[in-house]
Amino acid sequence: MTTFSTVAKTRDIAPGTMKTFVVNGQSILIANWQGTFFATHDVCTHDDGPLGDGALVGEEIECPRHGGRFNVKTGAATQMPAMFPIQTLAVQIVGDEIQIALE
Ligand code: FES
């Protein structure tokens, strides 16, 4: 059974923005794309850059180090030099709480 943990309130992350949180020792990125929340690990698969220091461009996370991009919904690498996907995490909203599933 999947266990969800509360990470933030929905009001903490405005549409078109993203923030990072440390949960169980892991840095997690949560993005608000058009009112829907998505969670990924906060580590770029190109060279371990901190994605949370980058930008949300449309539905893509742009890495601040070399400009690689990842689809915020699927984690798929969408722009070089990123080639491999980032890991996504399941999200559920309960009331005004954003909860994520950590493995
Ligand atoms: S570390 Fe992210 S694109 Fe290079």
Q: Which domains are seen in the chain, by residue range?
A: 16-89 (2.102.10.10)
Choose one of 40, 42, 65 to mutate for the ligand 1 pocket test, by most ligand atoms within 8 angstroms of C-beta. Answer: 65
Mean pLDDT of the 68-77 span: 98
| Antiparallel, parallel or unpaired: β 88-89 and 36-41 | antiparallel
Mean pLDDT of the 15-19 span: 96
Residue 103 pLDDT exceeds 90: no
Which pLDDT belongs to residue 102? 82
Task: Tell me what the pLDDT averaged over the chain comes to.
Answer: 96
Ligand 1 binding pocket, CB closer than 6 Å: 44, 46-47, 49, 63, 65-66, 68, 81-82
Q: How many other CB atoms are found less than 10 A from the CB of residue 78?
A: 18
Dist. CA 83–CA 65, nearest whole Å: 14
Give tens-digit pLDDT for 31-59.
999 999 999 999 999 999 999 999 999 99
Which pLDDT belongs to residue 98? 98
The pTM assigned to this predicted structure is 0.94
